[in-house]
Amino acid sequence: MLSTLSRLRELLWQDWLWFPEGLGWADLQDHDGKVFPKMADLWFTIPVALCFLLVRQVFERTVASPVASLLGVKDKHRVSAAPNPALEAYFCRTSKHPQQSCIESLSKQSGYSARQVQRWFRRRRNHDRPSKVKKFKEASWRFTFYLLAFFAGLWALIDKPWFYDMKEMWNGFPKMPLLPSQYWYYMLELGFYVSLLLSIATDVKRKDFKEQIVHHVATILLISFSWLVNYIRAGTLIMLVHDTSDSLMESAKMFNYAGWRRTCNMCFTVFAAVFIVTRLVILPFWIIHTTWVYPLTLYPPFFGFYFFNGLLIVLQCLHVFWAILILRMVVKFLPGNHIVADERSDHEESETEDEGADPARKDQSKNGHAQNGHTPLNNNHGKME
């Protein structure tokens, strides 16, 4: 068994898999005072991720909560669903949205009328939805990290030649010494995304929950792989491109929860423009072009080349998916100058829904009257994230 694992490991780390012909892992050995990335370095991101989780708890209690109070972010009073074992069992095991054909059966089991059953499920669903204050604190934490990460990345790259000429990212590959700024930029970014993956079960869940998991896993694999084979110059550029727009999205969410309608609209408009430019123009036509097309003029293709660019394509597909949602929101909000509602959000239901209310009134409630005239904005776009 051990010999089989040893052979598999030896096969997995063959030079020809991950490097162009004539190059290999031996080129990444430290020498003459030059330091290169190592696999063991990635273990450091685990304590970094745990530190992020701890700092987040402190930040949300000592910074985000007071800011929420200062801006007037308040939770609506929610009427709790009365305890009912039959309905609770159906809610947890079968469905949170019972079909009309099942309501009569549930009515007999619970002793409630059909309307009371509908009201119970609506209140029970609302109970599981995250509060506005919780969403504000989450947005505040991500806004703070993304903003600081953007300036940190800009500081690490502003004086580097590959920031201005992306072909320079391949100059001397893979024998490019690791810089201290690159080390810390990578450790903090990777640690942050590991923390997001660890906290995804307790964070605000949205309709693109599965896409978020795919995104986080692809991001962690992409950052880790680019570290192992010294694609760090490309990696730092990709992370900076993603950091550029994320803080704008989180700020728009914060202003929405605070009811600052015009400020939210302005932030979202700027975010949409920056997102389109960075994720659908700069990333595919500049960076991915330099990682996919330009290297073929220098080296014959190899497995690592396909693996790295394959992960980038996965991220790019997610960017297109999110761009469609963003454009749908922009189309909805520009003509009437209304606040933006995230297509992925699960909105709180009003007391009149599902009880035979007038359809037009149901629409009004879903479009934001339950939020003081403001519809919820909840979005989270990742990066190489």
pLDDT tens-place values along the chain, 385 residues long: 667 777 787 788 899 999 998 899 999 999 888 999 999 999 999 999 999 999 999 999 999 999 999 988 887 776 777 788 888 788 787 887 888 878 888 887 888 888 888 888 887 777 767 788 999 999 999 999 999 999 999 999 999 999 999 999 999 999 999 999 999 999 999 999 999 988 887 777 666 677 778 888 888 999 999 999 999 999 999 999 999 999 999 999 999 999 888 898 889 989 999 999 999 999 999 999 999 999 999 999 999 999 999 999 988 998 999 899 898 888 776 655 455 555 545 555 555 554 444 434 444 444 333 333 333 444 444 444 4
* Alpha helix positions (H), the chain: 2-12, 15-18, 45-59, 65-70, 85-93, 100-110, 114-128, 132-157, 161-164, 180-199, 209-228, 232-258, 261-277, 289-292, 303-336, 359-366
Peptide bond into 359 cis (omega under 30): no
Which residue's entry shows tokens 């929405």? 256
Q: Amino acid identity, residue 152?
A: A
Nearest to 332 by CA among 362, 375, 372: 375
Nearest to 245 by CA among 339, 384, 381: 381
- Angstrom CA distances, 185 to 29, 50, 255, 291, stand at 21, 17, 29, 20
CB 193 within 8 A of CB 220: yes
Q: From CA 345, how far away is CA 367, in angstroms rounded? A: 12
Helix pair 132-157, 180-199: axis angle to 10 deg: 160
What values do phi and psi take at 231, rounded to 5?
A: -90, 35
pTM exceeding the 0.95 threshold for the entire prediction: no
Q: From CA 222, how far away is CA 342, in angstroms rounded? A: 27
Listed in sequence order, the residues at least 6 apart from 306 whose beta carbon sits closer than 8 Å to its beta carbon are none
- Angstrom CA distances, 126 to 78, 129, 346, 347, 348, stand at 7, 5, 10, 9, 6
Helix (H, G, I), strand (E, B) or coil at 23: coil
